[in-house]
Amino acid sequence: MLEIQDTLVSLDIFSQHFCCDLQSCRGICCIEGDAGAPVTPDEIAPIEEATETIWDELTPQARNVIKRQGIVYPDPSGEIVTSIVDGRECVFAQHDETGNCICLLDKAYREKRTKFQKPISCHLYPIRLKNIGERTAVNYDRWDICQPAQTLGCKLQLPIYQFLKEPLILRFGQTWWDECDTIYHELEKAGYI
């Protein structure tokens, strides 16, 4: 782990490669798993507001889940996560005309219909954040369904921190990302990666 400002950063985000390959995975990360996407307390109100905009686009099953339990719930570990349909699919998931799973929150944001893009945990994936006292641990979460992204990332020689530049800057700021970039080049020059 490397210390960057008030974070502890796994070397994996520099040494491992990743680039989402939607054509191969079809957005399965929005469907698989045993809980929804982690949500921060500050994200709940903006998600609720965005949900009003996309309400008619949600599946009937998703609307029923939201009516019953809301847009979020505590998972077995107590973490607040997005609600899911039938124990699997995020309530904000939708299949497009090609069969790919897309996020309705992200779609509405890109169409400039909402101001909230999606939970930062989704935007940062495959990085997962964990609070450790006053610090935030920044770790690579390996998931076998992301093998196509690992393969494409290796082919492109795209380190995780570079693939996630936009959301990392959104979460930690430009100065933090610049420090990551400097560290990457130092590690590369020293032959560690």
pLDDT tens-digit profile of 172-186?
999 999 999 999 999
Proportion of the chain above pLDDT 90, given as a percent: 80
DSSP assignment string, 108-161: HHHTTS-S----HHHHHTTEEEEEETTEEEEEE---GGGHHHHHHHHHHT-BHH
d(CA 118, CA 41): 13
- Give the pLDDT confidence of 119-155 residue by residue, as tens digits: 999 999 999 999 999 999 999 999 888 999 999 999 9
Tell me, what DSSP letter sits at residue 81?
A: E
- Calculate the average pLDDT of the chain: 93
pLDDT at 25 over 90: no
- In a 13 Å sphere around the CA of 174, the CA atoms on its Cβ side amount to 0
Supply the DSSP symbol for 8.
E
- Can you give the length of the chain in residues? 193
pLDDT score of 31 more than 90: no
**Above 80 in pLDDT, residue 34?**
no
In this predicted structure, what is the pLDDT of residue 154?
95
169: left (phi over 0), alpha (psi -120 to 50) or beta: alpha
Structure tokens at 69: 């339990």
From 2, 1, 6, 3, select the one nearest 171 (Cα to Cα). 6
Instruction: State pLDDT tens for residues 90-100.
Output: 999 998 888 88
pLDDT in tens, 70-106: 999 999 889 999 999 988 899 999 988 888 889 999 9
Is 90 exceeded by the pLDDT of residue 30?
no
- The pLDDT, as a whole number, for residue 181 is 97
Question: Across the chain, which distance is largest between two alpha carbons, in Å?
Answer: 55
H or E element, residue 11: none
pLDDT above 80 for 116: yes
What does the pLDDT read at residue 58? 96
150, 20 contact by CB (below 8 A): no
pTM, rounded to two decimals? 0.87
Can you tell me whether residue 88 is helix, strand or coil?
coil
